[in-house]
């Protein structure tokens, strides 16, 4: 069983940056794992943000994240990060970390591909 814990959320001004962290415990990341970030804005459905394949480091981004967000991994520390720049009001959400095994490229953005989920960390944007 794998447990995931997100951290790094908070309240920042529009235009600022934040780095979210996802820490895994109970099991280590393996070469078959893909780690993703999803977010759920207030009153909206949860949506895909970004993902990284542990083996090889292939990354995928939602259009809303491209050019502003960077996902990275530190397999030795069992951690994945999401660096978010130029934050705006539409980025306000609860951000979730998720891990799936054997996730194929076409399913990377699908919540159903991920078996393990964290509790989320809240990002609030002040104007």
Instruction: Report the chain's mean pLDDT, rounded to a whole number.
Output: 96
Please, are residues 5 and 22 in contact by the beta-carbon 8 Å criterion? yes
80, pLDDT greater than 80: yes
| Backbone phi, psi, residue 91, to 5° | -90, -5
User: pLDDT per residue over 100-118, tens digit each?
Assistant: 999 998 999 999 999 999 9
Which of 117, 104, 109, 84 is CA-nearest to residue 32?
Answer: 104
Please, are residues 48 and 71 in contact by the beta-carbon 8 Å criterion? no
Distances (CA, A) of 61 to 3, 50, 69, 77, 111: 24, 4, 8, 23, 14
Q: What is the pLDDT of residue 127?
A: 80
75, pLDDT greater than 90: no
Please, are residues 25 and 5 in contact by the beta-carbon 8 Å criterion? yes
Which of 72, 77, 85, 80 is CA-nearest to residue 96?
Answer: 80
Q: What is the pLDDT of residue 38?
A: 98
15, pLDDT greater than 90: yes
Q: CB atoms < 10 A from the CB of 48, how many? A: 21
Mean pLDDT of the 30-49 span: 97
Q: What is the pLDDT of residue 76?
A: 82
Cα–Cα distance, 32 to 45 (Å, whole number) = 28
Q: What is the pLDDT of residue 23?
A: 96
122, pLDDT greater than 90: yes
């Amino acid at each position: 069983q794998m447990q995931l814990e997100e951290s790094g959320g908070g309240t920042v001004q529009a235009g600022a940056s934040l780095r979210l962290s996802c820490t895994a415990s109970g099991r280590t990341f393996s070469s078959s794992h893909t780690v993703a970030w999803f977010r759920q804005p207030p009153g909206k459905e949860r949506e895909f943000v970004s993902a990284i394949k542990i083996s090889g480091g292939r990354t995928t981004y939602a259009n809303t994240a491209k050019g502003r967000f960077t996902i990275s991994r530190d397999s030795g520390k069992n951690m994945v990060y999401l660096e978010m720049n130029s934050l705006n009001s539409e980025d306000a959400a609860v951000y979730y970390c998720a891990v799936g095994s054997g996730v194929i490229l076409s399913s990377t953005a699908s919540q159903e591909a991920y078996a393990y989920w964290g509790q989320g960390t809240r990002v609030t944007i002040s104007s």
